[in-house]
Amino acid sequence: MNKSFLMRNPSTLWFLLGLSLFTIVVTILSDAGLGVMSTSFVKTLGKTLCLCLIAVAMDVVWGYCGILSLGHFAFFGIGGYAVGMWLMYARTEGIVLDSLATQTIPPTAQEVTDAIGNQIFGVVGSSEFPMIWAFSDSLFLQLLMVVLVPGLLALVFGWLAFRSRVTGVYLSILTQAMTLALSLYLFQNDSGLRGNNGLSGLQNIPGFENTPQSTISLAFFYASASAVALGYVLFAWVTSGKMGSVIKAIRDNESRVRFLGYHVESYKLFVFTITAVVAAIAGALYYPQAGIINPAEIAPIASIYLAVWVAIGGRGRLYGAVIGAAFVSLLSSWFTGGGAPAIPLGFYTIQWTDWWLVLLGLSFVAVTLYAPKGIGGLFDYLVRKPS
């Protein structure tokens, strides 16, 4: 079944081939091979892959199903927080146990918990473990949370919204409000997730303290690449066949699909929830590479940028999302990192750190107006030309 599905979707095969090639090239260039690619660049590429994954999810929910969600970065963040909690807890537990072992009297379980709490929350002036950290000692449970929390949130939110027939821009504003509420909530110290400081030191993986970051970053790069591959295939499958047709039909005319007897809400809810879960998985892979997660990451602007990537890459085609996310985010870091040369105009010098956002904003308007298919549209042009 799977094989025939891939055969019917040659673009998916091409994508997987390209991704494997890319992975091999990176491996050769990295410290594991020739050593010309720095660890920080491997991390950047790994993170970019995670962004590609959430962009693909965004493309499915927006480009295919027509729901402009401005809340998917919230799910991304929840995934990061869920995995970050375990990383922080386990790393601190190791340190605390080592330190307490030097005492004459063995510590009680309560003392160990208190010491860990003090280490983690001392930074924000507290030492109590909040309820929300109840499962943080178990990697398995926290990984389950990566999937369950965003999944349930999306399910409840989506059910309420779709049931009330909140559609179009209203839904966008509602999802944006949800993101804002979540980020404001996390900004509070009382939320128990260290407020504005967020969770940090996530690049140190407990149990691998002595493994160099070059190896860890490569491992995460592979994991991200595999996740992108799996996610891509999953969504290619979701958007093809009969279900794909229904989803696209909902985008084009929701009422008509409903009159044809389809239960539109269920389809939308399915797409909304599954993309939320994939976004969370992307986040869970992203933040151990970034090293720190804090509420600013979840600010509504991030979700809007996500829409920008997908729009520039090309909506309604999965590879478009990947191209958009990779292209814009790498270009963005190149411009803001001072990599782009300044342009002297004689009377004024254009510093790209200052002008990049202006350029991005305007090019975004241009893409919306003149090239609604985005960069992906170029492929259509190339493919059609010979015929």
Interface mask toward another protein for 226-265; x: CB under 8 A: ----------------------------------------
What gap in Å lies between CA 26 and CA 34, rounded to an integer? Answer: 10
CB count within 10 Å of CB 301 equals 14
- Residue 28, interface with another protein (CB under 8 A)? no
- Please count the CA atoms within 13 angstroms of the CA of 218 that sit on its side-chain side: 18
Q: Which of 241, 338 has the CB closer to another protein?
A: 338
What gap in Å lies between CA 375 and CA 360, rounded to an integer? Answer: 14
- Contacting another protein (CB under 8 A), which of 5, 135, 262, 355? 355
Write down the least CB distance from residue 168 to another protein, Å.
Answer: 6
- Residue 207, interface with another protein (CB under 8 A)? no
3-state secondary structure of 344: strand
The residues near 49 (Cβ < 8 Å, ≥ 6 apart) are: 221, 224, 225, 227, 228
The DSSP call for residue 37 is S
Q: Quick check: 228 and 53 in contact, CB under 8 A? A: yes
CB count within 10 Å of CB 340 equals 16
Write down the least CB distance from residue 133 to another protein, Å.
Answer: 16
- Contacting another protein (CB under 8 A), which of 44, 142, 273, 275? 44
Subset of residues 311 to 350 that bind another protein, contact rule: CB under 8 A: 311, 323, 326-327, 330-331, 333-334, 336-339
Size of the site for another protein (CB under 8 A): 112
Write down the least CB distance from residue 269 to another protein, Å.
Answer: 14
What gap in Å lies between CA 172 and CA 100, rounded to an integer? Answer: 51
Token duo for residue 135: 């499962």
- Residue 306, interface with another protein (CB under 8 A)? no
- Contacting another protein (CB under 8 A), which of 24, 34, 40, 253? 40
Element (H, E) at 176: helix 168-187
- Contacting another protein (CB under 8 A), which of 128, 144, 372, 380? 372
- Contacting another protein (CB under 8 A), which of 27, 32, 107, 226? 107
